[in-house]
Amino acid sequence: MSSRKAFTLVEILIVVVILGILAAVVLPRFSNASATARASMLADDLRLLRTQIPVYQGQHLGVAPGYPNGNTTLAPTGDAFVAQITQVSDESGQTVAPSLRTREYRFGPYMSEIPVNPINGKSTVQVLGPGDPMPAAGDDSHGWIYQPSTLIFRADCSASDSDGKPYYQY
């Protein structure tokens, strides 16, 4: 009498098929969780940026970030916005590195850096001038879109979340 202690080919195939079915059911749930996490991160980044803009404006004679040296006769720029949010500034909006903080340069920084948009992977800020209309939708050319004259700050995304809501409308 011989005792067999090995699996047959049929038993192995049944186990492989069962594992394949389980993988097909479980993997889409993980990819959806990843998309949900990115959407949550986007909403948190927008909330943080949108709360810091009015704080900056309140400390800088009512001038929103984005205007070079706080001069509203100049066109607002992305570089000025980034500097004014991530560096220290005086009351008029002129900026210096945080390591050069003085009694005069006492405001900020409001954020250590502009976050990367978790949907399109970009951190650049498109700043619109006072007469420029806000785009109807995002086109993924930048990470963010900001209009200083209205304080509107949006994600520049053309995609939608799992519920069909465009990220641009977050």
Q: Which domain holds residue 135?
A: 42-169
Identify whether 10 is part of a domain: no
Per-residue pLDDT of the chain (170 residues; tens, 9 = 90+): 566 688 888 888 999 999 998 888 877 766 667 888 999 999 999 999 999 999 999 999 999 999 999 999 999 999 999 999 999 999 999 999 999 999 999 999 999 999 999 999 999 999 999 889 999 999 999 999 999 999 999 999 999 998 999 999 99
Residue 157 counted as domain residue:
yes
154 assigned to some structural domain: yes
End-to-end CA distance of the chain: 73
For the chain, helix (H) and strand (E) counts, in that order, are 2, 5
d(CA 107, CA 113): 15
pTM attached to this predicted model: 0.80
d(CA 156, CA 170): 10
Residue 12 lies in a domain: no
Is residue 14 in a domain? no
Q: Would residue 15 count as lying in a domain?
A: no
Residue of 147, 125, 144, 124 lying closest to 75 (CA atoms): 147
Contact 122, 88 (CB under 8 A): no
163 part of a folded domain: yes
* Strand-pair partners of 145: 126, 154
How many domains in the chain? Answer: 1
